[in-house]
């Protein structure tokens, strides 16, 4: 399988998959998928679509942080369980906020998976966490650019700031300096993202 630690570039995290499905993917493959979100002409500036993407991303974050907290003892050398408990609380709050604003448009029926290789060791976990949190930061920065509502733009910026703190923790734990670039990149809008999936999918 492609090395999970490979950096997630812009346009790689959010992809438009086959048959109108949305895909969230790292360089190692797809982490989440949802059918029924087709990025055809006419919906490229839809706030609903942007919020749906964010909701699925937050669902993935909740799943991963829950798995870390529940299995913390198995990650040798990993410290500060309190951080992961607090981060999980934040991700749940983000997810709840998005669900409240999406209402009946809240995504359902999507599939999330944590591949064994992504959490096979403490190093694999910190690699995965670093890649995902960077993608989350860039995704919300991209949302600031694409959302039409000023109020939602402000919320997206606030969540990006929160996710940046999560990135810093993972990056430092992974041997990095824990600092994002002075001007973090913006992932391109989901509606224009690459359509190619890696063959090592994490989807069911």
The series of mean pLDDT values per 10 residues for the chain, 204 residues long, is 34 53 61 53 57 85 93 92 96 92 83 80 89 83 83 89 93 89 60 27 28
What token pair was written down for 161?
């700031």
pTM for the model stands at: 0.76
- In the prediction, which pLDDT does 151 show? 85
Cβ atoms of 146 and 50 within 8 Å: the answer is yes
- In the prediction, which pLDDT does 92 show? 96
- In the prediction, which pLDDT does 23 show? 65
Q: For residue 160, which of 130, 122, 198, 134 has the smallest C-alpha distance?
A: 134
Lateral strand order in the sheet of 21-26: 14-16, 21-26, 29-35, 111-112
- In the prediction, which pLDDT does 195 show? 27
- CA dihedral defined by 95, 127, 200, 194, rounded to 10 degrees? 60
What token pair was written down for 100?
């409240």
Which residues touch 160 (CB under 8 Å, ≥6 apart)?
A: 136, 137, 140, 141, 144, 184
- In the prediction, which pLDDT does 90 show? 95
- In the prediction, which pLDDT does 93 show? 94
């Amino acid at each position: 399988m492609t090395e999970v630690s490979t950096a997630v570039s812009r346009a790689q995290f959010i992809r438009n998959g086959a048959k109108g499905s949305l895909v969230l993917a790292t360089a190692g493959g797809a982490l989440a998928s949802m059918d029924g979100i087709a990025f055809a002409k006419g919906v490229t500036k839809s706030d609903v679509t942007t919020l749906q993407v964010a909701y699925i991303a937050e669902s993935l974050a909740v799943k991963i942080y829950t798995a870390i907290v529940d299995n913390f003892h198995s990650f040798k050398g990993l410290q500060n369980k309190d951080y992961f408990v607090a981060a999980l609380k934040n991700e749940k709050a983000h997810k709840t906020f998005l669900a409240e604003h999406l209402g009946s448009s809240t995504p359902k029926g999507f599939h999330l998976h944590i591949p064994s290789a992504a959490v096979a060791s403490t190093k694999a976990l910190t690699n995965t966490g670093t890649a995902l949190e960077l993608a989350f930061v860039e995704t919300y920065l991209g949302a600031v650019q694409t959302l039409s509502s000023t109020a939602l733009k402000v919320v997206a910026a606030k969540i990006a700031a929160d996710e940046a703190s999560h990135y810093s923790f993972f990056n430092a734990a992974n041997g990095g300096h824990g600092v994002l670039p002075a001007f973090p990149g913006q992932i391109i809008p989901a509606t224009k993202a690459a359509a190619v999936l890696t063959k090592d999918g994490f989807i069911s």
